[in-house]
């Protein structure tokens, strides 16, 4: 396809692709990385690092769909880290 990132897996160990994230944003009203990685794909529960390593790739896919600037993307990544700490009681 025109966007290879959408066809590829976010993490080699899991089947979730960029296209699934794009679908969640465009069709399921996902608006945060927590929506994508905790609630839609459950990657946060399946990855040993709570999907922190795939969050930047997820943000890169979501950003153009949600109209995020680079500072919005940075804020989304920070918010995701905070949400992971709340959900998992994790200090990093």
- Residues 17-39, mean pLDDT to the nearest whole number: 96
Share above pLDDT 90 across residues of the chain, in percent, rounded to a whole number: 87
User: CA 63, CA 75: separation in Å to the nearest integer?
Assistant: 11
Sign of CA dihedral 63, 88, 20, 55: positive
Q: What is the DSSP string of 5-30?
A: HHHSBSSTTS--BHHHHHHHHHHS--
Are the C-beta atoms of residues 1 and 44 closer than 8 Å to each other? no
Q: What is the pLDDT of residues 74-83, one digit of tens each?
A: 999 999 999 9
Q: What is the pLDDT of residues 40-80, one digit of tens each?
A: 999 999 999 999 999 999 999 999 999 999 999 999 999 99
**C-alpha closest to that of 47 among 89, 7, 12, 6:** 12
């Amino acid at each position: 396809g025109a966007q290879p990132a959408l066809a590829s897996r976010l993490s080699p160990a899991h089947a979730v692709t960029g296209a699934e994230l794009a679908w969640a944003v465009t069709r399921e009203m996902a608006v945060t990385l927590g929506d994508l990685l905790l609630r839609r794909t459950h990657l946060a529960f399946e990855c040993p690092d709570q999907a922190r390593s795939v969050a930047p790739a997820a943000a890169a896919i979501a950003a153009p769909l949600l109209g995020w600037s680079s500072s919005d993307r940075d804020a989304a990544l920070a918010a995701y880290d905070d949400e992971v700490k709340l959900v998992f009681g994790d200090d990093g």
